[in-house]
Chains A and B, each alone.
Chain A
């Protein structure tokens, strides 16, 4: 029996698809060249559709705020009020969540009486004990406890009662109940519970106010007998209102005016505040009076929330005047000042209660400021002047205008252009407002963030930073320093203020290097470093910065890891790394990361990222012509952080790449290539995954062959074989999944064997034989794998028996078998007998396959394999016939593969099908070392 003569080039030509020129890149958008240029100036030569999309979207996105504004103004008033109501509801919900209170609420006895709940139990037993430790106990004698849920349910009951009374025309009762509810807000001893109580009470008051509004509106629009007189326009005037309705409306104000206590009187008037529109055309004056009346509320908490309620209710007046809100802020500020002044009692307890009070007042400040800057119809500069922020802070003589918590929220709300326009002034104000209500450094920091939202002129930026640096140089606390700096790093980097950056880093270094850093400090430092790193182009720039490494050295833990990862990521992102110091630095960073991974339980995700980064780093290191260094680096890396298979794999790849590179370089001696190969050879066994080992052995063998080192390649193939053996024979459950990998490895091995010179010691068919014996071993190897190995060997034998091998090793020193064994009949005979052997077993093996579809496909593949390698004769035909029968019994008649195979056999053509060609056709003489993506 002989093998067919094959013309691989012709076969490939026939079976390859015809090619045609494409008009456009499949990934580019419809107007490729034009779009790409716009998208970005970076060196992105791939214009992917996602990017193009985001570019298109970018424009409408920038316009978004405008669109939003337009839409809100276009909305009818009804919708606007709905939005307001929604905002308020959300605000109240957040308010209640923000101050979770304990289950029991202690309320004053007056409030308890108002709640008239039967179940309040006095602190009778505990009170005497309490009094002993509590000097103020006597003052709180009449405190009652009530459970939070009871309080809430009682209030919702009250709400129902108010509503019910109203609907049964008992409006006086609903007013009386509402007054009762408002009185609850006089009790600020509940502290943490006050916001909840406020939300619930104002809910009832809002309801009452709306009902009164509706009633009077109805009086205007309808006659007593229910006929409609008119429909009141949204922007009605007081003169549109009939005297009867006015009378009723005025009565309401009179009734409310007769409430003795100040706070409930104000709350009730605020509740029906919108009704002033029925009486006067400029109800805004009422607001000014109310703000002044609130001065009578000495309790800051009650007063602040009262102001808050006013800000909420006044929105219904549809007045654009914001003066009263500004007065609110000024009043709250004046009221809070004495509380937080450092002169007041400084023992821990009062300090704490002070903090609680400030935190309770904060939401009110926040909401009112939001209202002020809600729609910037009014000139913001006016607002600034009215707030007193317009004046030069030097006139303040160092006194603060606002307490820092107000400054904080102002900074949050002020429009960007105002911030950048008055930067120096604002900074001064921040500097002066240094009190316990809010951490000053957080205000500095916020200011920095706000400032970086828009580009400022360089002079301003320099002035600001000079002032700031001078100021923070007095900080001894690292955390404060870091917090402030974090806000300004962006500005410094954007404006390329190198000296400032150096000063800042030095500041950090002097404060950080002596001490053990706390976690929060590390977090801030991390944020700063990330900003610096992401701004710099390459890692060398960062290394040039003084103190950069010093500070990095004192970092630890998660933050350090993040920074390290970022550094590695940044260093390996673009170019090869060739500078020895950089490599040294990065190695240390990598080493540090690796050490941490061992000691800490890192998240899987992080771990994977780390592995990826490290292998990327290994790939990117390139010493250029100093290849010995490169190899040394690989050896070092293996010792230092090759803890995962992925990394070892990368090391082997890099070793191989280095070998190829060395070989191409004429100056390098072969011994260096050998050492590269030796490095790979010793590295591979430490990889735990058998498949990876196998593939790497093959790859290295190829490289050895390409370098002309036949001995090495023989040894490596040997190793590959033994690892294949252990892989195939292992009864690992993993193996089923690996079968495909094994098959592809075997196929690759066979295609490699085509160019490996036959070793006379084992005979030319030594390796295939051992492969075959592996396939035929009675182990648990699957029939499919066995069949596939057979096909591969058959195709390889066919290739080897050709007069001219389809391809050769690239090294001129390695001779192909076609030269070595030219005309040697025993050589051919050996190959033929090999395939003979395969042929005999093929049918049996295939029949052992349990899956019907796989069996059918294998039979077809066998047919193709036989037909393309062997001539059709008496020996092969029956086998083919049997295989076809088998295939027909397993597959449906319209199976394309079945049809084409049967056609192929029928035509007696000698050309193999594409499937057969894939086995050998895919081989490339040089392994492709393209980077993993």
Chain B
């Protein structure tokens, strides 16, 4: 006795403009009668505040009321009977009618630490009071609608960055301070989600040997709680681009694949926002490093040089 939803696409990705298609599959040992089969789509932004910059009270308050994006229900079959064995009931549901305009913003599916945007489709087979209803739920993923797609960003939108001992806002090792270093590079400020982040980096000079160069992809989630904005940033992915004391003056490619689901187009909505940043961290050889083997890589340390740049993620064609 089981009911499941099988969506038409194995990757379960749909755009808001497309109908959500699939079938309800029932596997029954004996035939049943029902009062109708209903399909419900529910999309919401779930927000929660914990730790981070939130105060004690807010964190106690915990979950903030979710923002509903969509809640629709249709009957895909009126009351009747389902015979025993395997039965497939196809369905198709329009998520957004063209006339509905921007009232409901279909944000892309996103699972973050404080914010998650989730879309669920539920099927209910309602039976009389004496019988238990059957239901099944499945998550589907919303990618941006075609109409909202932007052109691929221009490669000209690369920003140059310079890192020297003087650009660092935290204390450095004395030998770094005195010896000096210069790391330059280019990185885009806007990047398509389907493309890797491509830039370049050159260690022009450094007296202290380099240990590693990493690119951290950081997301910044902000939630409006009452009058305050609670912001928390978390590390999504670290990508090493240099391992060891590389040659000076050599241009290294920055090539970072963006993790799916952990990223989404940058969202700046009223009650919440999801933004991204790129942090370039050059770590120099230091004995001190061994004393802190497992620290947050974003914590400024004496042997680290860092540069953080904002990154706007967009969905493109």
Give chain A's interface residues, CB within 8 Å of chain B: 186, 244, 247, 251, 253-254, 256-258, 260-263, 265, 289, 292-293, 295-299, 302, 334-335, 338
In the assembled complex, the CB of B66 is this many whole angstroms from the nearest CB of chain A, namely: 29
Whether B243 pairs with A334 at a CB distance below 8 angstroms is no
In the assembled complex, the CB of A322 is this many whole angstroms from the nearest CB of chain B, namely: 21
Whether A254 pairs with B243 at a CB distance below 8 angstroms is no
> B238 contacts the other chain (Cβ, under 8 Å)?
yes
Whether B243 pairs with A260 at a CB distance below 8 angstroms is no
Contact of A299 (CB < 8 Å), options: B210, B244, B253: B244
Residues in B neighbouring A293, C-beta threshold 8 A:
241, 252-253, 255
Whether B243 pairs with A262 at a CB distance below 8 angstroms is yes
Whether A296 pairs with B252 at a CB distance below 8 angstroms is yes
> B196 contacts the other chain (Cβ, under 8 Å)?
yes
Q: How distant is the Cα of A244 from the Cα of B253 in the complex, in angstroms? A: 30
Whether A254 pairs with B244 at a CB distance below 8 angstroms is no
In the assembled complex, the CB of B301 is this many whole angstroms from the nearest CB of chain A, namely: 18
Whether B240 pairs with A261 at a CB distance below 8 angstroms is yes
In the assembled complex, the CB of A718 is this many whole angstroms from the nearest CB of chain B, namely: 95
Whether A254 pairs with B241 at a CB distance below 8 angstroms is no
Whether A296 pairs with B255 at a CB distance below 8 angstroms is no
Pairs A–B under 8 Å by Cβ, sample size 23 = A244-B10, A247-B11, A254-B260, A257-B196, A257-B256, A257-B257, A258-B237, A260-B237, A260-B238, A262-B243, A289-B255, A292-B251, A292-B252, A293-B252, A293-B253, A295-B252, A296-B242, A296-B246, A296-B252, A297-B242, A298-B242, A298-B243, A298-B245
Are A254 and B239 CB-contacts (below 8 A) given A293-B252, A296-B213, A297-B244? no
Residues in A neighbouring B247, C-beta threshold 8 A:
295, 298, 334-335, 338
Shortest Cβ distance from A264 into B: residue: B240
Residues in B neighbouring A244, C-beta threshold 8 A:
10-11
Whether B253 pairs with A258 at a CB distance below 8 angstroms is no
Residues in A neighbouring B260, C-beta threshold 8 A:
251, 254
Residues in A neighbouring B237, C-beta threshold 8 A:
258, 260
Residues in B neighbouring A298, C-beta threshold 8 A:
210, 242-247
Whether A262 pairs with B240 at a CB distance below 8 angstroms is yes
Instruction: Pick the most buried of B244, B245, B246: most chain A CB atoms within 10 A of its CB.
Output: B244
Shortest Cβ distance from A244 into B: residue: B10
Whether B259 pairs with A254 at a CB distance below 8 angstroms is yes
In the assembled complex, the CB of B241 is this many whole angstroms from the nearest CB of chain A, namely: 5
Whether B11 pairs with A262 at a CB distance below 8 angstroms is no
Q: How distant is the Cα of A262 from the Cα of B243 in the complex, in angstroms? A: 7
Residues in B neighbouring A296, C-beta threshold 8 A:
213, 240-243, 246, 252
Residues in B neighbouring A335, C-beta threshold 8 A:
247
In the assembled complex, the CB of A247 is this many whole angstroms from the nearest CB of chain B, namely: 6
Whether B239 pairs with A260 at a CB distance below 8 angstroms is yes
Enumerate B209-265 residues with CB–CB distance to A below 8 Å: 210, 213-214, 237-247, 250-253, 255-257, 259-260
Are A262 and B255 CB-contacts (below 8 A) given A295-B246, A296-B246? no
Shortest Cβ distance from A298 into B: residue: B244
Q: How distant is the Cα of A338 from the Cα of B209 in the complex, in angstroms? A: 15
Q: How distant is the Cα of A305 from the Cα of B41 in the complex, in angstroms? A: 53
Are A260 and B257 CB-contacts (below 8 A) given A292-B252, A295-B250, A296-B213? no
Q: How distant is the Cα of A784 from the Cα of B71 in the complex, in angstroms? A: 125
Residues in A neighbouring B240, C-beta threshold 8 A:
260-262, 265, 296
Contact of B243 (CB < 8 Å), options: A186, A256, A292: A186
Query: 9 new A-B pairs (CB below 8 Å) besides A247-B11, A257-B239, A258-B239?
Result: A247-B10, A257-B259, A261-B243, A292-B253, A297-B246, A298-B242, A298-B244, A299-B244, A334-B247
Shortest Cβ distance from A263 into B: residue: B243
Q: How distant is the Cα of A256 from the Cα of B245 in the complex, in angstroms? A: 24
Residues in B neighbouring A251, C-beta threshold 8 A:
260
Residues in A neighbouring B250, C-beta threshold 8 A:
295
Q: How distant is the Cα of A338 from the Cα of B245 in the complex, in angstroms? A: 12
Residues in A neighbouring B241, C-beta threshold 8 A:
262, 293, 296
Classify the secondary structure of B's interface with A: strand
Tally inter-chain residue pairs, CB-CB below 8 A: 74
As a 0/1 sequence over residues 249 to 287 of chain B, the CB contacts with chain A under 8 angstroms (1 = contact) are 011110111011000000000000000000000000000
In the assembled complex, the CB of B75 is this many whole angstroms from the nearest CB of chain A, namely: 30
In the assembled complex, the CB of A238 is this many whole angstroms from the nearest CB of chain B, namely: 15
Residues in B neighbouring A186, C-beta threshold 8 A:
243
Shortest Cβ distance from A247 into B: residue: B11
In the assembled complex, the CB of A331 is this many whole angstroms from the nearest CB of chain B, namely: 9
Residues in A neighbouring B213, C-beta threshold 8 A:
296
For the complex of A and B, 4 pairs with smallest distance between CB atoms: A257-B257, A298-B244, A296-B242, A262-B240
Residues in A neighbouring B255, C-beta threshold 8 A:
289, 293
Shortest Cβ distance from B241 into A: residue: A296
Residues in A neighbouring B253, C-beta threshold 8 A:
289, 292-293, 295
Whether B243 pairs with A299 at a CB distance below 8 angstroms is yes
Residues in B neighbouring A263, C-beta threshold 8 A:
243
In the assembled complex, the CB of A680 is this many whole angstroms from the nearest CB of chain B, namely: 83
Are A262 and B257 CB-contacts (below 8 A) given A257-B196, A293-B252, A335-B247? no
Q: How distant is the Cα of A254 from the Cα of B237 in the complex, in angstroms? A: 12
In the assembled complex, the CB of A187 is this many whole angstroms from the nearest CB of chain B, namely: 12
Q: How distant is the Cα of A334 from the Cα of B247 in the complex, in angstroms? A: 9
Residues in A neighbouring B251, C-beta threshold 8 A:
292, 295
In the assembled complex, the CB of B143 is this many whole angstroms from the nearest CB of chain A, namely: 12
Residues in A neighbouring B245, C-beta threshold 8 A:
298
Q: How distant is the Cα of A257 from the Cα of B255 in the complex, in angstroms? A: 9
In the assembled complex, the CB of A328 is this many whole angstroms from the nearest CB of chain B, namely: 15
In the assembled complex, the CB of A268 is this many whole angstroms from the nearest CB of chain B, namely: 12
Q: How distant is the Cα of A160 from the Cα of B237 in the complex, in angstroms? A: 30
Are A254 and B252 CB-contacts (below 8 A) given A296-B240, A297-B244? no
Residues in B neighbouring A302, C-beta threshold 8 A:
243
Residues in A neighbouring B246, C-beta threshold 8 A:
295-298
Q: How distant is the Cα of A258 from the Cα of B239 in the complex, in angstroms? A: 7
In the assembled complex, the CB of A251 is this many whole angstroms from the nearest CB of chain B, namely: 8
In the assembled complex, the CB of A876 is this many whole angstroms from the nearest CB of chain B, namely: 110
Q: How distant is the Cα of A265 from the Cα of B240 in the complex, in angstroms? A: 9
Shortest Cβ distance from B253 into A: residue: A292
Residues in A neighbouring B210, C-beta threshold 8 A:
298
Q: How distant is the Cα of A297 from the Cα of B246 in the complex, in angstroms? A: 7
Q: How distant is the Cα of A155 from the Cα of B241 in the complex, in angstroms? A: 27
Shortest Cβ distance from B240 into A: residue: A262
In the assembled complex, the CB of B199 is this many whole angstroms from the nearest CB of chain A, namely: 12
Q: How distant is the Cα of A623 from the Cα of B82 in the complex, in angstroms? A: 124
Q: How distant is the Cα of A260 from the Cα of B297 in the complex, in angstroms? A: 12
Residues in B neighbouring A292, C-beta threshold 8 A:
251-253
Whether B257 pairs with A253 at a CB distance below 8 angstroms is yes
In the assembled complex, the CB of B296 is this many whole angstroms from the nearest CB of chain A, namely: 14
Residues in B neighbouring A247, C-beta threshold 8 A:
10-11
As a 0/1 sequence over residues 79 to 111 of chain B, the CB contacts with chain A under 8 angstroms (1 = contact) are 000000000000000000000000000000000
Q: How distant is the Cα of A406 from the Cα of B246 in the complex, in angstroms? A: 21
In the assembled complex, the CB of A142 is this many whole angstroms from the nearest CB of chain B, namely: 9
Whether A258 pairs with B257 at a CB distance below 8 angstroms is yes
Whether A262 pairs with B196 at a CB distance below 8 angstroms is no
Residues in B neighbouring A254, C-beta threshold 8 A:
257, 259-260
Shortest Cβ distance from B245 into A: residue: A298
Q: How distant is the Cα of A467 from the Cα of B238 in the complex, in angstroms? A: 56
Shortest Cβ distance from B262 into A: residue: A258
In the assembled complex, the CB of A679 is this many whole angstroms from the nearest CB of chain B, namely: 82
Residues in B neighbouring A260, C-beta threshold 8 A:
214, 237-240
Residues in A neighbouring B243, C-beta threshold 8 A:
186, 261-263, 296-299, 302
In the assembled complex, the CB of B118 is this many whole angstroms from the nearest CB of chain A, namely: 21
Q: How distant is the Cα of A253 from the Cα of B241 in the complex, in angstroms? A: 17
In the assembled complex, the CB of B131 is this many whole angstroms from the nearest CB of chain A, namely: 34
Residues in A neighbouring B244, C-beta threshold 8 A:
297-299
In the assembled complex, the CB of B208 is this many whole angstroms from the nearest CB of chain A, namely: 14
Q: How distant is the Cα of A186 from the Cα of B210 in the complex, in angstroms? A: 16
In the assembled complex, the CB of B205 is this many whole angstroms from the nearest CB of chain A, namely: 15
Q: How distant is the Cα of A334 from the Cα of B241 in the complex, in angstroms? A: 19
Residues in A neighbouring B238, C-beta threshold 8 A:
260
Residues in B neighbouring A334, C-beta threshold 8 A:
247
Residues in A neighbouring B242, C-beta threshold 8 A:
262, 295-298
